[in-house]
Amino acid sequence: MRIIKSLLWIVLVLFISAATARDLPDKTRTPGVANPNVTQDNIKQTVCVSGWTKTIRPATSYTNKLKLEQIKEYGYKDTNPKNYEEDHLISLQLGGHPTDPKNLWPQPYNQQCGARIKDVVETRLKRLMCDGKLSLVEAQKAIATNWVAAYRTYVNREGCPALEDDQ
């Protein structure tokens, strides 16, 4: 019985990993990079200040060019850049590096755990961090390691909502 339970657990873990793998960036290309100018000691003067991210957000000319390059690198079949957000894995509001290509990737919009859903967990983690309930490093690790798992932990344990077309 113990062996069967162990096998079922392994199958469940593999199923969840496979289901979310397409929602996550390639860890080699996009491991996530923190902004060295944001520290736990200065979050109240940086990321926790409303509008602060606007002061460091890269120009769209930079991110649009990078998006086109990365769509090719990632080997996406859909090459229409309008279907992707050039997203910071560690978001700017969590102290992510604004321009390092290893913190940016073309995240598809049209998938269950797409770009707009990731925005929700980013904001939740920022609130927890700015309220002192989560450290900067903990928030960065949660989002960079597996943002879908972070969504389940901090937003909805059921996971990402279904796409409107799927309902």
pLDDT at 11: 41
pLDDT in tens, the chain (167 residues): 556 544 444 444 444 444 444 689 999 999 999 999 999 999 999 999 999 999 999 999 999 999 999 999 999 999 999 999 999 999 999 999 999 999 999 999 988 999 889 999 999 999 999 999 999 999 999 999 999 999 999 999 999 998 765 44
| CB-based contact 139:104 (threshold 8 Å) | no
Q: Residue 73 phi/psi, 5° resolution?
A: -60, -40
Q: How far apart are CA 35 and CA 92, in angstroms?
A: 8
CA gap 100, 64 in Å, rounded = 14
Residue 3 has a pLDDT of: 60
What is the helix (H) or strand (E) element at residue 106, kind and residue range? strand 104-108
Q: Give the model's pLDDT for residue 163.
A: 76
What is the reported pLDDT for 164? Answer: 66
At 162 the pLDDT is 86
How many other CB atoms are there within 10 angstroms of residue 72's CB atom?
11
Six-digit token string for 21: 């793998």
- Distance in angstroms (rounded) separating the CA atoms of residues 81 and 138: 32
Tokens representing 53 are 């991210």
pLDDT at 2: 57
pTM of the model: 0.84
User: Residue 48's beta-bridge partner residues?
Assistant: none
